[in-house]
A and B are shown apart, each in its own frame.
Chain A
């Protein structure tokens, strides 16, 4: 049972639920108090110790039956009611009808289902090694049935019943046999499906562990070198990264050592000194930042922008308000999409609005468009983030526009996937933009992007 719980926890983690070791230990302890006999109490014990967010209840409900489900009803032995003569007759029939369906017939007529070994062999034959989606369970179960020769079974059974009737078996017994075998067929089908489901789940967990290893390495690889599958691997990690950033932000609030003087708590702390401020207390509460984001979504920058959007979506509660704008050669306001749609759909919508194509990045005119239409979104508490490579295709860089923004905003931060050594080469105007920014971060891979966002939130 302990092993099954451990596997269940692994399955939950593979589906994105963050379960810690302490929690799985709690689950085990809870079960020692509630026992495993009462099914609903058992389920509740696991749920209250392992799942700490109502959004994860769905995943729990999906996976629970796969690991702790009611076992498929066992096959019954149809020969239990037969007299020795009748049994002998049945055995004769089985021999007579032996063929490639003999195995299946044997299982159904003796009540002994397939063993674990046999099931595994059958599963391998059906190609279950490569299955990884829980929706495929039924399909694979049917494939396993086909391998056993299931379609020919009804016909064969008809012949069997006729043969037995000819040999003089009691019609009532035959009816009973028919019924039992039909029930066994159902039970066997259930077993196959359940087995397929379990194997697929095992595959999924294995794959998840492999992917996590790779994810860790992939985070260090530059964005433009990633293939689509590798990007998928990283997309799964976004949630985990966001959770980590969130806890880091919370811890940082506690340990802050700078800030404005907090008069109230300074006075209170210095009562023992008769009101003389010997110990200073500083205001540690950071107000949540307001963000305005300008994203370059041209081909070279698409993956960076996508990950930035995903992370910002997850961290929505750390920020008071975000206004998002995407640009290539002109600016589009995408705030509404980001606010109303779910992350995948939102990112797609944003990237659709400005399909990458033959047009060249024109940062300068995008900036001037921004000041013309959207400057009101920037006030003295706003942090403006520009995500771009600063390459302007020799257009006017409109430094004055950036200057206007800088004077209105609290700070301007630039995130550039290129290393400082590449600034100023070719059509890059980065060396002109950089002095106007309060901070420039290099975001070549996901690790650096995460650190940059951490710095902004902190």
Chain B
């Protein structure tokens, strides 16, 4: 479906996702090799966005499974609606007795009932959860398993079984297998809060998505927030990169950069003055300690990490300069 790496890049760009060469290549490989793709990286760099973009680009439906600790088979794979089944049985009782009314022997009655078995042991009462939906779908889908590192090791082992064969056994119905031509395209994302099991990693291709470079991030901002002036956008991106260079508890991610860009547009900011920067710092930094630290660095001596918008030369910074 993707003919070349270049095509991947173009398709993703059409979906408003700027993919670096690395990302495009690995996505192409994953599709060609038919392997799941494990995306790791800091929060907010576009891992989930990538799978959404691929779904849009290939015209497939996105099936999303959000993982958390305690996620188990019933919530991920399927559930059988027993209550509904019992209700149906109750309501159809009259019809059943009609059906069996003129049966002459017990065997015949049982046979007639067996012929109607499909009513009760069918997919009518099957509640499909994301994994089964992906397997059972009659058109190929993109399966996104988000934040797999938050699920526990037991779920990982279960997932491994499902991902190897793309088939599932349901006691009431039988085995449901995925059509070999319609295998889902699988993405797994992880924030690296714990180490995943080796078996799962072996199955997948691995891609580490790091924060983008200044040029790439600028491209993203220009694409997603076109209302922001180019010069201001450049200053903003440089400011964010300077913030990342500071040793903060939580670095601002790409999504926060975009939020900030939109905030600047809303505030009709003309230039990135210190005032604007300090006022909107909380859009970028989500910890009070980080905000305080950033303010200190921007304000105090030695604070040359500014994003270069100060008009005129820097003011002298203390006794040392007067030598």
- Partner of B25 from A29, A44, A265 at Cβ < 8 Å: A44
CB distance from A454 to the nearest CB of B (A): 15
Q: Which residues of A contact B153 (CB under 8 A)?
A: 249-250, 253-254
Interface string of A25-54 (1 = CB under 8 A from B): 010011001100000110011001101111
Contact A33 B72 (CB under 8 A): no
Whether, in the assembled complex, A271 has its beta carbon less than 8 Å from a beta carbon of chain B, the answer is yes
Tell whether, in the assembled complex, residue A34 and residue B208 are in contact, meaning their CB atoms are under 8 Å apart: no
Q: What chain B residues lie within 8 Å of A396 (beta carbons)?
A: none
* Contact between A53 and B35, CB atoms less than 8 A apart: no
Between-chain CB contacts (< 8 Å), 17 pairs = A26-B33, A26-B205, A29-B33, A34-B28, A45-B25, A48-B29, A48-B207, A49-B29, A49-B205, A52-B38, A52-B204, A54-B40, A54-B208, A250-B154, A254-B153, A265-B74, A285-B154
Which 9 residue pairs spanning A and B have beta carbons closest together?
A250-B153, A271-B82, A52-B201, A52-B206, A33-B32, A48-B205, A254-B157, A54-B208, A48-B26
* Interface residue count on the B side (C-beta < 8 Å): 38
Bound: A251/B152 CA distance, A: 11
A214 to B253, CA, bound (A): 48
- Interchain CA distance A246-B198 in the complex, whole Å: 9
Question: Is A268's CB within 8 Å of the partner chain B?
Answer: yes
Interface membership of B194, Cβ < 8 A = yes
A35 to chain B, nearest CB (A): 11
B226 to chain A, nearest CB (A): 31
Contact among A44, A254, A271 with B22 in the assembled complex (CB-CB below 8 Å): A44
Contact B202 A52 (CB under 8 A): yes
Q: Note all chain B residues with C-beta closer than 8 A to A268.
A: 74
Residue B197 is within 8 A (CB to CB) of chain A in the complex: yes
Given A30-B33, A49-B205, A52-B201, CB of A271 within 8 Å of CB of B83: yes
Complex contacts, A53 vs chain B, CB 8 Å: 195, 201, 206
* A285 pairs with B29, CB closer than 8 A: no
A22 touches B202 (CB 8 A): yes
In the bound complex, residues from chain B placing their C-beta under 8 Å from that of A44 are 21-22, 25-26
B158 within 8 A of A: yes
Sorting the interface of chain A by its residue count into under 10, 10 to 19, 20 to 34 or 35 or more gives: 35 or more
Q: Does B13 contact A (CB under 8 A)?
A: no
B109 interface hit (Cβ, 8 Å): no
Residue A23 lies at the interface, judged by CB distance under 8 Å to chain B: yes
Q: Is B199 an interface residue (CB 8 A)?
A: yes
B contact residues around A272 at 8 Å (CB):
80, 82
What B residues does A34 contact at CB under 8 A? 5, 25, 28-29
Q: Mark contacts of A304-341 with chain B using CB atoms, 8 A cut-off: 1 yes-contact digit, 0 otherwise.
A: 00000000000001000000000000000000000000
Question: Is B58 positioned at the interface, with any CB of A under 8 Å from its CB?
Answer: no
A33-B195 contact in complex given A52-B202, A253-B152, A253-B154, C-beta closer than 8 Å: no
**How close is B74's CB to chain A, nearest CB, in angstroms?**
7
**Cβ of A18: which chain B residues have Cβ within 8 Å of it?**
198
Q: How far is the CB of A274 from chain B (nearest CB, A)?
A: 8
- Kindly identify, within residues 230 to 284 of chain A, every residue whose CB is under 8 Å from any CB belonging to chain B: 243, 246-247, 249-251, 253-254, 265, 268, 271-272, 274, 284
Is A139 among interface residues, defined by CB-CB distance under 8 A?
no
Q: Which residues of B contact A250 (CB under 8 A)?
A: 153-154, 156-157, 197
Q: Beyond the given A20-B202, A34-B25, could you list 14 further A-B residue pairs with CB under 8 A, ordered by the A residue number?
A: A18-B198, A23-B202, A26-B35, A33-B32, A41-B5, A41-B25, A49-B205, A54-B40, A246-B195, A247-B199, A265-B74, A271-B80, A285-B70, A285-B152
In the assembly, what is the distance between CA of A417 and CA of B199, in Å? Answer: 33
Q: What residues of A have a CB within 8 angstroms of the CB of B32 in the complex?
A: 30, 33
